[in-house]
Amino acid sequence: MARTLEARWEAALAVLADAENALTDLCAAAPQLPERSVLEELVADVETLWNADSTSDRDRKRLMRTLIADVTVLPEPDRDRIRLGIRWHTGATDTLTIPTKPPRLELPAARLIREHGTTLPDAQMVALLNEHGLTTARGEKFTIAAMRWTRQNHDLPAPSTPRTGEITVAAAAQALGVNPSVVYRWIHDRRLAARHTVVGRWCVPWDPDIEAHCRTLIAKSP
């Protein structure tokens, strides 16, 4: 019995010695930490350390774990933004409010639509996009539907959008308290100037004098 215990003890000591040797080899192979003065200099300029070419993504993750204890998502009434509570290992806390979506880069197609979309009919705008070799986000040729989706997605003005100093027929009718058909009749009778857009809609120049003229037309109407 004693010999069995002695053999087990010797085996355990051998395993422990092997583990100690492996740990020693591992520590010897690990890179040596910089001196304290070098570390303090690096910590003083974390931005340079973060952006250095020699800093890998894995190192950046380790750096974040070293600095930040935890991050908490906090309630935010604006759904387009998110608020983050950051607790640093030093005990300090910060709150960041950031947009939930990154800024959208305007595509070359969107820039072309912005430049010519208010003066060209939809079919001609699509032809111009395809002539420039531009494609949708899926790499497909533009159709009228795809062009209109791009216009809506990037909040681009349509051909019927009133210019500065203009309003729609519906807006003019609402301002005057009349039916839109009245405004259309004035336009067709050439008693009210308006611009006919490429998609067949009317945009009415509008200022206090024009509004006063329209109210005079209403007063003279039976």
DSSP, collapsed to helix, strand or coil, labels residue 14 as: helix
Q: Which residue ranges make up each domain of the chain?
A: 39-102, 108-153, 166-220
Q: What is the pTM of this model?
A: 0.40
Tokens read off for 3: 């010999």
Nearest to 166 by CA among 212, 118, 207: 207
- Rounded to a whole number of angstroms, the distance between the first and last alpha carbons of the chain is 125
Please report, as a single letter, which amino acid is at residue 217.
L
Could you tell me what percent of the chain has a pLDDT over 90? 28
Q: At residue 214, does pLDDT exceed 70?
A: yes
41-62 tens-digit pLDDT = 766 777 887 888 888 888 888 8
Cα distances (Å, whole numbers) of residue 113 to 130, 131, 170, 195: 12, 13, 26, 21
Q: At residue 216, does pLDDT exceed 90?
A: yes
CA pair distance 74, 83, nearest whole angstrom: 5
Band (188; pLDDT cuts 50, 70, 90): very high
145-152: list long-range contacts, CB under 8 Å, 24+ apart: 147/109, 147/113, 147/122, 148/122, 150/107, 150/109, 150/110, 150/113, 151/113, 151/117
Q: Which fold has domain 166-220?
A: Multidrug-efflux Transporter Regulator; Chain: A; Domain 2 (1.10.1660)
CA pair distance 62, 64, nearest whole angstrom: 5
